């Protein structure tokens, strides 16, 4: 089976290489004086600002972000048992992780502390699914009417926040993967978590407090919640999160979360934020808050791969050629994809796990995370035509594009696109309020074109900007694409094994 898997990986890897003309896309980010090329081989953007990343390039670097090996001289007591520190040592010894920074190692110590505390107090936290209460959510809600229950966990959770590419997700996943499989635990992206909550609320319409029922169902299934990319952007979610987590924490839930924002900056400037503020206090009470500071964006350390990010106009024929190369002998047809609550999303062209969309049909229509999650449950590759530069004139489309990239990254999907500029250029007109205050005021010497700039001042988009640039960069890297191929090969192998078993039975 291992031989078949390796053969499949090589087959998928060959699909990543495009050798037509002088096209050069994301070619060698770590090298000095590199250029983005359009179809005609004309340099359209100098990316020499990436030169500083050259010192981080390392042949053994994988999709996992590295930790600081020189800081890994931990005591025998710390690595005597199991946990994220032990896994860290194993990955260093295997060459799967390379030098990183001391900030990540400090966070790893905090995760090891939490792991040890959970193991020690597993019974008190009711972590084992085989001995925990099996009451259904509605039953829990019914009995709570007669016997008020409030049982906070004896263990505090952990809230990790920091800049993009600092390794938050990798560290949380390392922690989660070391937890016993028998525990009531769940690791999920915050977008996906909230979609599930909204779906459950629909199911429990008519109940006096449906959020209490939903919280009961969530905590019955998973008393330990690991939520990636915790962020609140609209008033509906803000009100739900406040009350939902009050119930969850009362049920003994333990939260481990990652975010780009500190607790005090969550939902900053949002409507009716005063109603959200109690959640921030509760979060800081029930979780240890730790910042991961780093000067390195590990996602930009990956080596570049040609053929998936094209810059320029009139590239439709080239993109079509790439799309039909990916689908092979399969016939591309328009089709419908089911998303949550009975909704469907029309895919203009789809075949062999690849979906083709003009940008307008995916980001200029009233779509959201639910639609994108539904799309990537069926398709592993998105071919997206005509990503524009973003600014004040298309702010809403920018929000959707950011969400789309987040969902793709979470699902380890592959992106093939044409765009008006590099990831940095696409979002350079999006700024936070603080950034806007640093922009020099207009002077008589400035041109009218500058006066009529398309600058979009938006805190949420501004904070998401660096994350999106970083993820677009990594998604076009050789390491990311190889990981994508390995996942596909494994799925195909499992499907073949399943088909063989079905024939034999």
Least confident of 124-128, 149-153, 171-175, 463-467: 149-153
Are 244 and 313 members of one domain?
no
User: In this structure, is residue 101 part of a structural domain?
Assistant: no
Per-residue model confidence (pLDDT) at position 294: 63
Per-residue model confidence (pLDDT) at position 160: 94
Phi, psi of 457, rounded to the nearest 5 degrees: -95, 110
Are 187 and 286 members of one domain?
yes
Are 481 and 340 members of one domain?
yes
Asked whether the beta carbons of 216 and 209 are under 8 A apart, the reply is no
pLDDT bracket for residue 435 (50, 70, 90): confident
* % of the chain residues with pLDDT over 90: 46
Per-residue model confidence (pLDDT) at position 389: 95
Q: Is 296 left (phi over 0), alpha (psi -120 to 50) or beta?
A: beta
Q: Exposed, middle or buried by CB within 10 Å (0-12, 13-18, 19+), for 115?
A: buried
Are 398 and 473 members of one domain?
yes
38 vs 256, residue with greater confidence:
256
pLDDT at 8 over 60: no
Say which residues have a Cβ less than 8 Å from residue 505's Cβ, sequence separation at least 6.
none
Average pLDDT over residues 379-401: 96
CA distance 296 to 172: 18
Average pLDDT over residues 184-203: 92
Per-residue model confidence (pLDDT) at position 350: 96
User: In this structure, is residue 78 part of a structural domain?
Assistant: no
Among 224, 258, 292, the domain boundary falls at: 292
pLDDT at 364 over 80: yes
CA atoms within 13 A on the CB side of 207: 19
Are 381 and 467 members of one domain?
yes
User: In this structure, is residue 106 part of a structural domain?
Assistant: no
Task: Please tell me the total count of domains within the chain.
Answer: 2
Question: Which pTM does this prediction carry?
Answer: 0.61
pLDDT at 386 over 60: yes
CA distance 226 to 200: 19
Range of the domain at 200: 125-292
Please state the length of the chain.
Answer: 505
Are 270 and 171 members of one domain?
yes
- Averaged confidence pLDDT in the chain: 78
CA distance 156 to 290: 13
Average pLDDT over residues 170-192: 93
Per-residue model confidence (pLDDT) at position 307: 64
Are 281 and 189 members of one domain?
yes
pLDDT bracket for residue 211 (50, 70, 90): very high
Asked whether the beta carbons of 401 and 467 are under 8 A apart, the reply is no
């Amino acid at each position: 089976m291992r031989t078949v898997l390796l053969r499949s990986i090589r087959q998928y890897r060959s699909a990543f290489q495009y050798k037509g003309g002088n096209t050069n896309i994301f070619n060698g980010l770590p090298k000095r004086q590199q250029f983005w090329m359009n179809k005609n081989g004309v340099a359209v953007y100098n990316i020499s600002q990436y030169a500083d990343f050259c010192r981080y390039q390392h042949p053994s670097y994988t999709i996992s972000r590295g930790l600081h090996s020189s800081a890994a001289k931990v005591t025998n007591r710390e690595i005597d048992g199991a946990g994220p520190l032990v896994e860290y040592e194993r990955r260093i010894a295997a060459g799967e992780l390379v030098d990183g920074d001391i900030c990540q190692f400090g966070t790893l110590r905090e995760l090891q502390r939490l792991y040890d505390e959970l193991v020690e107090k597993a019974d008190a936290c009711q972590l084992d699914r085989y001995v925990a209460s099996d009451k259904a959510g509605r039953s829990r809600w019914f009995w709570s009417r007669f016997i008020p229950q409030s049982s906070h966990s004896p263990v505090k959770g952990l809230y990790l926040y920091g800049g993009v590419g600092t390794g938050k997700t990798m560290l949380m996943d390392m922690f989660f993967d070391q937890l016993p499989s028998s525990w009531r635990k769940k690791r999920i992206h915050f977008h996906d978590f909230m979609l599930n909550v909204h779906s459950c609320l629909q199911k429990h319409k008519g109940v006096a407090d449906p959020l209490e029922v939903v919280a009961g169902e969530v905590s019955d299934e998973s008393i330990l919640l690991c939520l990636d990319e915790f962020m609140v952007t609209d008033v509906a979610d803000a009100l739900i999160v406040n009350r939902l987590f009050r119930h969850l924490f009362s049920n003994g839930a333990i939260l481990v979360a990652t975010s780009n924002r500190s607790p005090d900056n969550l939902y900053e400037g949002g409507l009716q934020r005063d109603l959200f503020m109690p959640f921030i206090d509760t979060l800081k009470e029930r979780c240890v808050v730790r910042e991961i500071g780093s000067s390195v964006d590990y996602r930009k350390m990956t080596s570049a791969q040609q053929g998936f990010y094209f810059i320029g106009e009139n590239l439709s024929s080239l993109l079509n050629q790439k799309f039909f190369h990916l689908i092979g002998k399969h016939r591309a047809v328009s089709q419908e994809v089911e998303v949550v609550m009975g909704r469907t999303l029309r895919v203009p062209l789809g075949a062999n796990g690849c979906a083709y969309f003009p940008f307008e049909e995916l980001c200029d229509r009233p779509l959201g995370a639910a639609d994108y999650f539904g799309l990537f449950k069926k398709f592993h590759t998105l071919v997206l035509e005509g990503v524009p530069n973003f600014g004040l004139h298309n702010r809403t489309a920018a929000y959707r594009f950011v969400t789309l990239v987040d969902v793709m990254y979470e699902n380890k999907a592959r992106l093939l696109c044409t765009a008006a500029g590099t990831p940095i250029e696409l979002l350079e007109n999006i700024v936070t309020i603080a950034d806007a205050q640093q922009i020099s005021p207009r002077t008589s010497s400035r041109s009218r074109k500058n006066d009529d700039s398309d600058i979009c001042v938006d805190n949420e988009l501004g904070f998401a900007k660096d994350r999106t640039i970083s993820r677009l960069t990594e998604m076009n890297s050789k390491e990311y694409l190889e990981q994508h191929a390995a996942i596909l090969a494994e799925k195909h192998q499992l499907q073949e094994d399943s088909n063989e078993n079905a024939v034999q039975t």
